[in-house]
Amino acid sequence: MLPELNAILGPIYFWLFAGLATLCGGALLLCRHPIQGAVALIGVMLSLSGLYALLHSPFLAVLQILVYAGAIMMLLVFVIMVLNQGLDDRIPRFDAYSLIGLALPVLLAALVLNTIGDSRSGIVEHAGTVRAGLETVAARMFDTAGGGWWLLFEFGGLILLAAIVAAVMLAKRSLDTVADDDQPHHEHAGHAERAAAVAAIPDAATVGRSTETFVKPPVAGTH
Amino acid sequence: MEFNDIVLMAIKLGLVLIPFMLVPLLILMERRGAAFIQDRPGPNRAAIPIFGLRLRGFGLVHNLTDGIKLFFKESFVPPFAYKPFYLIAPAIPVMTAVLTPSLIPWFAPISYAAANGVVTVAPSFFDANAGILALFALGSLSVYGVVLGSWASNSKFALLGGLRASAMMISYEVSMGLGALGLFLVVGSFSLTSIVEWQANHVWGIVVQPIGFLLFLVSMFAECNRNPFDVAEGESELVAGFHTEYSSVKFALFMMGEYCHIVVASALIATLFLGGYHLPWLDTVAIKTHLGGVLAGVLAVTALLFLAIAHLVHGRRKQYATLAASDRAARSKEYGFFRALFVLAGLACLGGAVASWLLVKPQALDLWHEGAKVYPLRWSLLTAALQIGIVLAKTLFFCWLFVWVRWTLPRMRYDQIMSLGWKVLLNIALVNLLVTAVIAKAVQS
């Protein structure tokens, strides 16, 4: 019973998730408010997780939700909420340089279409083999005979930890005091004072965007 | 598709609705539990007049009136809210509450003889090796309901509540995962079914990982936004926290999601640390071979419970008779009716116990599957029903624990919650994991 059902539902689900991912990706580029973009990105990640599940990779699908949608995006949404920035109207969505960016996805699409070419029917995997299940991933990673990847994995974790510690160190002006950015900023503050206030916002360093976008009105305004 | 397949699919679909079906019971439990702990009568006004009786149903009618009120209230959307997220947000906790029960094994895998050999039915929809990870993933998604709802409300109270809630839930997810990780290390699997099977073959998780159990329990209280961690609402500080701007059905959805979350969390604790559908000396094979006796025992206990409730009602009726209340006659009439009802139910259960002792004698088929005899489908289904009852009993115990804690402990201050999560629980979890890993390695080699 199940194989026939899968053969019917598989392509439907594929196009559903693929369409959703593309739609959310487009929304991510077009949305004017950071939190709309964040939600669109969550949509992309959930659709990707569905695609992984279609490819018989349940472990990868679950990790996609757990790590990206559940943890990283959650943190990003949290930061957006803390800063509670308004609509981003100053930067235009598209300009002349966007055309260069547009060329890249076209090139990629051409490459992908060229590769899958006439084997269009093979988009959805029918084979019952689990590709990125828990066992396969674990066997590849902790493969003691062939070296394995666990040491590199642990190093990656250490580097991330070091990055977090470094971000905290950068955010703090001195080790003893907490960076206090909740002092009221005066409306007619001079440039130097404004710059100091911007530098005191801890996430400017960690998120790594230009500090320009983090200048906010003195009273944290709602959108 | 065979008839048996359809029946089993329908049963599994029905199990998904368990949290929803338990929500009215949980609300009743909350109200009566609060009344019991605070030494007051509890909900006792709303009643249904029928056949000259005023049936109050021990406060269940209040749930009905709540539902009617919430459905007929004006569904108000504040003009300053950001509508798309404001409307989506209440649906997210409910969505996760519908999806998560499909991952919990409510019964042992059923094997039965079909036309093309022995068929095994998995107890949950998604029984991959990453089962518990999927549960955690869905749990982490439910935070978005609070976050998006609070942000889209565009009000200071809601935003503060949402900020607190999201920070707290992120913090406690760490110690929740690390607390349960020790158990996975011992069991050696992420699949919930094999965790329960391991507990059936060895000991319950709470014996192996007592500290992990406590960590998981405390973190689950924070994940459910329940007292002493309910700073998301914090009505003395934040009006109603993240759902300040919500009314009518949208508010009801938030509340329902919260109670469903409690049920799912309780079921998860019961599955991971209290053996799930397993009782000591009563594993699946034992239940199947002595099905009549087990059924008789369960029914006898149920009969005892019914008779005990009848006794309670009888005592309350006598107590009412001495009061000078104006509706004394109506109350004693109602309690007399319930007493008769519970006595009848108890007697019926006793009769059922005797009947099942005498009549239920399942004969195993001449088939073997994975080292166990295969029974006809109806006896397997009966076994599954018993096991669902076992899981539900354990789940309800933890639901009561949630209520008990809520009305016993005061709310913690926000900085206390954060320092408990990061400075105490996380360290205990890490040390626990380390010690477990060392011991597991020593035992293995």
Segment B128-133 mean pLDDT: 76
Choose the mutation target among A78, A87, A223 for the interface with B, i.e. most B CBs under 10 Å.
Answer: A78
Q: Supply the pTM of this predicted model.
A: 0.81
- pLDDT score of B348: 92
3-state secondary structure chain B: CCHHHHHHHHHHHHHHCHHHHHHHHHHHHHHHHHHHHHCCCCCCCCCEEECCEEECHHHHHHHHHHHHHHHHCCCCCCCCCCHHHHHHCCHHHHHHHHHHHHHCCCCCCEEEEECCEEEEECCCCCCCCCHHHHHHHHHHHCHHHHHHHHHHHCCHHHHHHHHHHHHHHHHHHHHHHHHHHHHHHHHCCCCHHHHHHHHHHCCCHHHHCHHHHHHHHHHHHHHCCCCCCCCCCCHHHHCCHHHCCCCHHHHHHHHHHHHHHHHHHHHHHHHHHCCCCCECCECHHHHHHCHHHHHHHHHHHHHHHHHHHHHHHHHHHHHHHCCCCCCHHHHHHHHHHHHHHHHHHHHHHHHHHHHHHHHCCCCCCCCEECCEECCCHHHHHHHHHHHHHHHHHHHHHHHHHHHHHHCCCCCCCHHHHHHHHHHHHHHHHHHHHHHHHHHHHHHHC
Does the beta carbon of B114 lie under 8 angstroms from any beta carbon of chain A?
A: no
Q: Which A-chain residues 53-82 have CB contacts (< 8 A) with chain B? A: 58-59, 62-63, 65-66, 69-71, 74-75, 77-78, 81-82
Minimal C-alpha gap between A62 and chain B (Å): 5
* pLDDT reported for residue A43: 92
Identify the pLDDT of residue B258: 87
CA B372/CA B285 separation, integer angstroms? 7
pLDDT band at B127 (very low <50, low <70, confident <90, very high): low
Cβ distance B148 to A39 less than 8 Å, yes or no, reads yes
Q: What are phi and psi of A67, to 5 degrees?
A: -85, -50
Q: According to the model, what pLDDT value does residue A208 have?
A: 42
Residues of B in contact with A134 (CB under 8 A): 128-130, 190
Confidence of residue A223 (pLDDT cuts 50, 70, 90): very low
Kindly list the domain boundaries of chain B, sorted by start residue.
3-278+362-444
> Are B130 and A133 within 8 A, CB to CB?
yes
CB contact under 8 A, B130 and A58: yes
Q: At A136, is the secondary structure helix, strand, or coil? A: helix
Give the per-residue pLDDT at A178.
54
Q: Which residues of A touch B168 (CB under 8 A)?
A: none
Which percentage of chain B shows pLDDT scores above 70? 94
Q: How far is B170 from chain A (nearest CA, A)?
A: 8
Per DSSP, A149 falls in state S
Domains parsed from chain A with CATH numbers: 1-90 (1.20.120.1200)
Q: How far apart are CA B159 and CA A221, in angstroms?
A: 12
Per the model's pLDDT, the better-predicted residue between B52 and B213 turns out to be B213
The predicted pLDDT at position A187 comes to 46
Supply the pLDDT for residue A89.
64
